[in-house]
Amino acid sequence: MRFQSQAAVALAALPTVFGITFEGMLAANRYGAAAPNPSGDFAIYEVSNYTFETTESASWWNKLDLKTGEISVWYDGSDISEVVFVGPTPTSIIYINGTNAEEDGGISLYSADANALEDAKLIASLPAPYSGLKAVQTTSGDINFLVYTKAYTNGTAYNEATAETPASTARIYTSIYVRHWDTWLDDKKNAVFGGVLKGGNGTYTFSGELTNYVTGICNVSCAESPYDQSDQSDYDISPDGSSVVFLTKDITLPLANYTADVIYQVPFTGTAEDAVPINARGSTKYDAAQGAATSPRFSPSGDKIAYFQMNGINYESDRTILYVANSNSDDFNVTALALNWDRSPDTIAWSKDSSTIFVSAPDLGNERIFPVPLTAGDDYVPTNITDQGVPAAFYVLPDDCLLVSDSKIYTSRDIYTITPEGELGTKYFQANLVDPALAGLGPEDVTEFYYTSNTSEIQQQSWVILPEGFDESKTYPLAFLPHGGPQGAWYNSWSTRWNFKVWADQGYVVIAPNPTASSGWGQNLTDSIQGRWGSYPYFDLVHAFDYVDNNLPYVDTSKAICAGASFGGYITNWIQGHELGRRFKALVTHDGSTSTLNQYASEELWFMNHDFSGPFNQTGFESSSPYYEWNPLLYVNNWATPHFVVHNDLDFRLPVSEGILLFNMLQTKGVPSKFLNFPNENHWVTHPENSKVWHTEIFKWINYYSGLSNATSPY
Ligand SMILES: *[C@@H]1O[C@H](CO)[C@@H](O)[C@H](O)[C@H]1NC(C)=O
Ligand SMILES: *[C@@H]1O[C@H](CO)[C@@H](O)[C@H](O)[C@H]1NC(C)=O
Ligand SMILES: *[C@@H]1O[C@H](CO)[C@@H](O)[C@H](O)[C@H]1NC(C)=O
Ligand SMILES: *[C@@H]1O[C@H](CO)[C@@H](O)[C@H](O)[C@H]1NC(C)=O
Ligand SMILES: *[C@@H]1O[C@H](CO)[C@@H](O)[C@H](O)[C@H]1NC(C)=O
Ligand SMILES: *[C@@H]1O[C@H](CO)[C@@H](O)[C@H](O)[C@H]1NC(C)=O
Ligand SMILES: *[C@@H]1O[C@H](CO)[C@@H](O)[C@H](O)[C@H]1NC(C)=O
Ligand SMILES: *[C@@H]1O[C@H](CO)[C@@H](O)[C@H](O)[C@H]1NC(C)=O
Ligand SMILES: *[C@@H]1O[C@H](CO)[C@@H](O)[C@H](O)[C@H]1NC(C)=O
Ligand SMILES: *[C@@H]1O[C@H](CO)[C@@H](O)[C@H](O)[C@H]1NC(C)=O
């Protein structure tokens, strides 16, 4: 077993058995979702890992035999990036080879039989980094496919590797939305392209012609599909190959301050000029439907299109509603299913007979799967057919069972089938039972409790994650982890960035609360955050802490630390200035907000406009304005608890100046503090070598101040 030698020395003295280490977690296999072939005989999924000794990543594809459960390596290499089952037989595939022998930065398409990959045939060479392959066989035997990549304003695909680089690096803007997530925006936008592979029976020819359906839908470069950081879930092709749907932000609104989306339908043989909006604002019988849309999906019967849409026009966390439209531009007849259901479903899989839509939705700390029949009226309340975990994907098999790939706090991947009624079918794979780094992890590591706060009538939930070798008669320091968002939740899922079990196995009991703003307990709890960043969630966290203090005797709250990222970093900064801050021995802020008066330096202005009850120029300078009232910096005089600060250069959501401001103020006040910065990471730390340093430094800090380790100085 590998772990940090310093931590090992320190912990050898404690009666703790080490479970998972951060190096083990970071190096362990990461599994894609198992995608079945059309006959449901087998499924394939991608696996990757990282080896610290060699600093090398590896990736390959596994094949899972759904009849025998046998798992074997299907393709050992990283050049196959995507596979689609399509063609004359249930084992026919088209795959994207992420390399292109002729065109730097391009990709290539191959056809093959999944059982004879060595005979794969090169069928198309595409001169740009296209991805997001969707493909169907038409009655002629041809294959109609969709891919996406960035395009110039004239519609031509953009290939960074071969494009001319201008002499100057200047960027000039005349309207807001200059950057997003970790990228400075320019006039090149994603577009969905369609092409035809002529032929059949595994032999295809490609003319080289691709149709861009998106760029020309408006005469300025305002349409984009998939939208910026999104992916192929933003478009679809009909089962007969005759029709395409895609979504784009509403082209009539400024991008930075609205979330409204419009879904367009266009004939496969048409062009962007033929695209017709399905759900233009005000065009359906649902006047309120004007917000963000996701996941347009054709039914297997081809005559219906399902999608999700929120109401709030500048809110990214409003309740999502499931809609079904006819795939007929004469009468889309958009109809909501289970309109009043107080959950926000976010993934769609149609039943084979097109009568039911399986969706998954955040529900009480898990992401559960629910069948919704097409007959569901406004007041229909779907019933969950799964319980624990968060699916990465699920597929409907020919026998109408679902093949689910999910994760849980104690396992990075479970693969199993369930019946449409929710009975467990076959359990195929459970990572914690096979991956050495996850050895010993199991459901007994995770419990939860509900506590009463003074902000809402409903009880609030918190996860409790126990360290390996947990002994109820002993006490363990508390690791208290507020989540980001603030809309969002701590789910029963595996994370390689905030892996509860890795934190617990340093020797803590991890408390991961889901206070006001959390999703999965109804929209009212989520919405209650608006205008209340420093009040409700803070009160809830105080109540959660008190609950632990009063009810969990095995938690030593006199040795508590608090750590959070993003909004979790904001609330940690808020805690630093308030009473709760004095109950922690150390704090950790990862990419948080230090001065809410700086929130307009972010990219998605709709977020602040919603959460702070209006644009900054309208509310920001009043002391009653949420921008002003909930500013952690106002309480700088109270700051006293040792504070570790992480902030990354490529974080454009909350610019790096927030972390520098926090660190500079802490140092100026003489509060013990340390600053960690990664020039090549965004809001998240994703490179394994950086993540290793992130864990090493943070654990040194909290283990020292919580008293877990007095062998290591945190400096
Ligand atoms: C990572 O993948 C390589 C190549 O398949 C394999 O040899 C190695 O055992 C894997 N490492 C871990 C930690 O699973
Ligand atoms: C991918 O394409 C490269 C050439 O660009 C070729 O050498 C390699 O064999 C291909 N791999 C597969 C699996 O098609
Ligand atoms: C579109 O613009 C790009 C960049 O200016 C150029 O390279 C390409 O040739 C243009 N395509 C057409 C069809 O004009
Ligand atoms: C493909 O092969 C099948 C059987 O071998 C044949 O019936 C069919 O006509 C072929 N289709 C094409 C498009 O060549
Ligand atoms: C876009 O085209 C419409 C007519 O189709 C025209 O009225 C409008 O002025 C054009 N907008 C721009 C920005 O060119
Ligand atoms: C949206 O952005 C534009 C600038 O593109 C600005 O003029 C306008 O006031 C903003 N509207 C709202 C509601 O924030
Ligand atoms: C339109 O949808 C309603 C359900 O809201 C349904 O009763 C009606 O038959 C549909 N009409 C058409 C033409 O599809
Ligand atoms: C549905 O969710 C409940 C918790 O709300 C859980 O107890 C139950 O087991 C779930 N049903 C299925 C079929 O998994
Ligand atoms: C919604 O939440 C607010 C507090 O945020 C609470 O006062 C109100 O009672 C809740 N409403 C319902 C219907 O639960
Ligand atoms: C709610 O509880 C918090 C934390 O104990 C306290 O600071 C706050 O004053 C309480 N609010 C109300 C309205 O009682």
pLDDT of residue 620: 81
Element (H, E) at 151: strand 143-151
CB 586 within 8 A of CB 561: yes
Which residue among 456, 526, 532, 538 has the greatest number of ligand 9 atoms within 8 angstroms of its CB, and so is best to mutate?
456
Tokens (6 digits) for 694: 């992130």
Counting from 1 in the atom list of ligand 4, the atom nearest the Cα of 141 is 13
Q: Which residue is listed with tokens 């603030």?
A: 486
H/E stretch holding 8 reads helix 5-12
Residue 407, classed as helix, strand or coil, is strand
pLDDT given at position 256: 83
Mean pLDDT of 245-263: 92
Ligand 9 atom 11 nearest Cα: 524
Element (H or E) spanning 573, and its range?
A: helix 567-576
* Residue nearest ligand 5's atom 4 by CA: 219
Structure tokens at 431: 């990572």
The per-residue pLDDT for range 233-245, each reduced to its tens digit, is 999 999 999 999 9
Residue 697 has pLDDT above 70, yes or no: yes
Q: Which tens digits make up the pLDDT trace of 462-500? A: 999 999 999 999 999 999 999 999 999 999 999 999 999
CB 226 within 8 A of CB 148: yes
Ligand 6 pocket test, pick from 220, 257, 600, 627 with the greatest ligand atom count within 8 Å of Cβ, gives 257
Closest CA to 269 of 304, 244, 301: 244
Is residue 555 over pLDDT 70? yes
> What is d(CA 611, CA 591) in angstroms, rounded to the nearest whole number?
18
Is any ligand 7 atom within 6 A of the Cβ of residue 333? yes
Q: Could you give the CA distance from residue 480 to residue 576 in angstroms, rounded to a whole number?
A: 14
Q: Which atom of ligand 7 is nearest to the CA of 326?
A: 14
| Cβ atoms of residues 449 and 551 within 8 Å | yes
Q: Which residues contact 367 (CB under 8 A, 6 or more apart)?
A: 360, 361, 389, 390, 391, 406, 491, 493
Residues in the chain: 715
Q: For residues 472 and 450, what is the distance between their CA atoms, to the nearest angstrom?
A: 19
Nearest-CA residue for ligand 5 atom 10 is 219
Pair 551, 464: CB distance under 8 Å: no
- Which positions are catalytic? 566, 651, 683
228: left (phi > 0), else alpha (psi -120 to 50), else beta?
left
Q: What is the pLDDT of residue 12?
A: 39
The predicted model gives 597-626 an average pLDDT of: 92
User: Cβ distance 546 to 560 under 8 Å?
Assistant: no
**Nearest ligand 4 atom, CA 88:** 1
The H or E element containing residue 425 is strand 424-430
d(CA 230, CA 131): 12
Q: What are phi and psi of 662, to 5 degrees?
A: -60, -50
- Asked if 132 and 232 count as a contact pair (C-beta separation under 8 A), the reply is yes
Q: Report the distance separating Cα 84 and Cα 109, nearest Å.
A: 11
3-state secondary structure of 92: strand
| Residue range 548-558: mean pLDDT, rounded | 98
Residue type for 594, please? T
Query: Residues with beta carbon inside 6 Å of ligand 3?
Result: 152, 154, 156
Q: What is the DSSP string of 43-81?
A: EEEEEEEEETTTTEEEEEEEEEETTT--EEEEE-SSSEE
| Ligand 9 proximal residues by C-beta, below 6 Å | 456-457, 524, 528
Ligand 8 centroid distance, CA of 388 (Å): 8
Q: Determine the average pLDDT of the residues in 518-525.
A: 98
Q: Does the structure show a pLDDT above 90 at 3?
A: no
CA atoms lying within 13 Å on the CB side of residue 91: 12
Among the residue ranges 133-137, 238-242, 256-260, 321-325, the one predicted with the least confidence is 256-260
- Distance CA(136)–CA(146), nearest Å, equals 9
Banded pLDDT at 433 (limits 50, 70, 90)? very high
pLDDT in tens, 290-338: 999 999 999 999 999 999 999 999 999 999 999 999 999 899 999 999 9
Q: What are phi and psi of 581, to 5 degrees?
A: -60, -30
pLDDT of the residue at 622: 86
How confident is the model over 19-71, as pLDDT tens digits?
899 999 999 999 999 999 999 999 999 999 999 999 999 999 999 999 999 99
Question: Strands 411-418 and 402-408: what pairing?
Answer: antiparallel
* Percentage of residues of the chain with pLDDT beyond 90: 91
- Reading the block at residue 525, the tokens are 């709890």
Please state which of the ranges 3-12, 483-492, 660-669 shows the lowest mean pLDDT. 3-12
Residue 7 has a pLDDT of: 37
Mean pLDDT of 138-147: 96
Residue 257 pLDDT grade (very low, low, confident, very high; cuts 50, 70, 90)? confident
Question: Which ligand is the nearest neighbour of the Cα of 204?
Answer: 4
Query: Is 615 a residue whose pLDDT tops 90?
Result: yes
Q: Is 442-595+631-706 in CATH node 3.40.50.1820?
A: yes
The CA distance from 223 to 599, in Å, is 26
Q: How confident is the model at residue 621 (pLDDT cuts 50, 70, 90)?
A: confident
Question: Residue 255: is its pLDDT beyond 90?
Answer: no
Please check whether residue 594 is in contact with residue 631, taking contact to mean a CB–CB distance below 8 angstroms: no
Q: Which ligand is nearest to the CA of 112?
A: 2
Domain limits, CATH 3.40.50.1820, in the chain? 442-595+631-706
Whether 355 and 397 have beta carbons less than 8 Å apart is answered as no
**Which amino acid belongs to residue 696?**
T
- Distance (Å, rounded) from C-alpha 115 to C-alpha 400? 24
Q: Which residue of 360, 363, 384, 416 sits with most ligand 8 atoms within 8 Å of its CB, as the best mutation to test the pocket? A: 384
| Nearest-ligand number for the alpha carbon of 251 | 5
Question: Can you tell me which residue has the tokens 């266009």?
Answer: 266
User: DSSP readout, 426-488?
Assistant: EEEEEHHHH-GGGTT--GGGEEEEEE--SS-SS-EEEEEEPPTT--TTS-EEEEE---SSSSB
Type of residue at 489: A
Element (H, E) at 511: strand 509-514
pLDDT, mean of residues 153-173: 95
Question: Could you tell me if 416 and 428 are in contact, meaning their C-beta atoms sit under 8 angstroms apart?
Answer: yes
Is 382:376 a contact under the CB 8 Å cutoff? yes
Residue 203: is its pLDDT beyond 90?
A: no
DSSP β-bridge partners for residue 288: none
Q: Average pLDDT of 402-413? A: 98
Sorting pLDDT into bands at 50, 70 and 90, what band is 6? Answer: very low
- Report whether pLDDT(531) > 70: yes
Please tell me the distance between residue 321's alpha carbon and the centre of ligand 7 in angstroms: 18
CA distance 557 to 559: 5
d(CA 587, CA 714): 13
pLDDT computed for residue 53 by the predictor: 97
- Tokens 């002994």 label which residue? 471
Q: Is pLDDT of 220 > 90?
A: no
Partnered with residue 371 across adjacent β-strands are 358
What's the 540 CA to ligand 5 centre distance in angstroms?
51
pLDDT of residue 10: 39
Q: Among the bound ligands, name the one nearest to the CA of residue 89.
A: 4
SS3 154: coil
pLDDT category of residue 11 using cuts at 50, 70 and 90: very low
pLDDT number for residue 597: 95
- Residue 531, CA atoms < 13 Å, CB-side half-sphere: 7
Interval 509-519 mean pLDDT: 98
